[in-house]
Amino acid sequence: MTTTASRPAVEIRDLHKSFGPLEVLKGIDFEVGHGEVVCVIGPSGSGKSTLLRCVNLLEEPTAGKIWVNGTEMTDPDVEIDSVRRGIGMVFQSFNLFPHLTVLDNLTIAQRRVLKRGRAEAERIARDNLARVGLTDKADAYPAQLSGGQQQRAAIARSLSMDPKLMLFDEPTSALDPELVGDVLTVMRQLAEDGMTMMVVTHEMAFARDVADRVVFMDGGVVVEQGPPQEVLGAPQHERTRSFLSRVLDPTHVAQLGQPGQSAEPPASPSLPVDDRHHI
């Protein structure tokens, strides 16, 4: 295992991932710098969630190398449990432990994995619940919370492990629209506090306002990446433009003709000024 301080938080080289005969990732080169917030966007089936899940080895890469915080994840002898402690992950479906209270959800891994004492674990858990605005929900069970509260509790659970990197896998996709804002607010606060974040999302406004860099994926490759105002504001590739127009202006897609075939590319769509979520 190579540990170098100069390595980025996440470094991915020529990553391939196949599920049976289906190749989902076709050679990804990708980096996330320390303290950087990277949003990965793209159509469903583009491989963005698979890429994220490869970073902490929830999916085993077929080929290629991945380093996280200087540790090679793809080393067959990697101490996976100890590396994962430094990588928080937030799921689309929250995945809180339903048989435990919110407080126990936040303390169980601290106690079992980090071997913290009960008092210390509970103090850290309560600090993180306060951070996500759930101070009064410590003794509730997950089923008693709204989707937005559950997702914030899940974020607090990850933060309780003091991760250096946070992965978000479509964290707001399972939420009712009115609950999305609270979760995004917590994530924005986290970004402002300097957390290194890799976010797979469909929330373009979040990507525009919070990301340092936006990565557009399609068909298992990175098509285009750069600062949000470039990728979202002035996309260079037809595939990016077509995707953005479908996401940002879904009711007018039919008028654009056949994306990818029109001789004259449609004007790049601008982000709506009055966005749904004020974050």
Partner 1 sequence: MKLRRRQRERLSLWLQYLAFVAVIAVVLLAADWGRLREAFFRVDIIESMFPTIITVALRNTILYTLGAFAFGLVFGTILALMRLSRVAPYRWVATAYIELFRGLPALLVLFLVGYGIPIAFPEREIPGGVFGSISIGLGLTAAAYMAETIRAGIQAVPKGQMEAARTLGMSHFTAMRTIVIPQAFRIVIPPLTNELILLTKDSSLAYVLGVTAQTIEVTKFGRDTLNDRVNATPLLVAGLTYLIITLPLSQVVRRLELRYAKAR
| Residue 93 is a binding residue for partner 1 (CB under 8 A) | yes
Q: Which stretch binds partner 1 (CB under 8 A): 112-120, 217-225, 237-245, 254-262?
A: 112-120
Q: Which stretch binds partner 1 (CB under 8 A): 68-76, 88-96, 126-134, 233-241?
A: 88-96
Nearest CA to 53 out of 22, 24, 82 is that of 24
**Contact with partner 1 (CB under 8 A) among 46, 56, 71, 201:** 56
One-letter amino acid for residue 10 of the chain: V
Q: Is 21 exposed, middle or buried (0-12, 13-18, 19+ CB in 10 A)?
A: exposed
Closest distance to partner 1 from the beta carbon of 251 (Å): 33
* Token pair in block for residue 37: 């917030």
- Contact status: 96 vs partner 1 (CB under 8 A): yes
Is 115 among the residues that bind partner 1 (CB under 8 A)?
no
Which of 157, 213, 239, 241 contacts partner 1 by CB under 8 A? Answer: 157
* Cβ neighbours, 10 Å, residue 236: 13
- By beta-carbon proximity to partner 1, the closer residue of 112 and 123 is 112
Per CB under 8 A, the list member of 13, 26, 34, 85 interacting with partner 1 is 85
Other Cβ atoms within 10 Å of 173 Cβ, number: 14
Does 84 bind partner 1 (CB under 8 A)? Our answer is: yes
Neighbour count for residue 4 (Cβ, 10 Å):
8
Draw the binding track, 159-198, toward partner 1 (x: CB under 8 A; -: no contact): --x-------------------------------------
Query: Of 73 and 214, which has the nearer Cβ to partner 1?
Result: 73
- Answer left, alpha or beta for residue 163, where phi above 0 means left and psi between -120 and 50 means alpha: beta
Reading across the β-sheet that carries 71-72, which strands appear in turn?
22-32, 10-19, 63-68, 71-72
How many residues bind partner 1 (CB under 8 A)? The answer is 27
Structure tokens at 202: 């469909």
Asked if 138 is part of the footprint of partner 1 (rule: CB under 8 A), the reply reads no
> Hey, which residues does 22 pair with through a beta bridge?
19
Q: Specify which residues 30 forms β-bridges with.
A: 12
CA distance 79 to 73: 9
Which positions touch partner 1 (CB under 8 A)? Answer: 56, 58, 81-82, 84-85, 87-89, 91, 93, 95-99, 108-109, 112-114, 141, 143, 154, 157-158, 161
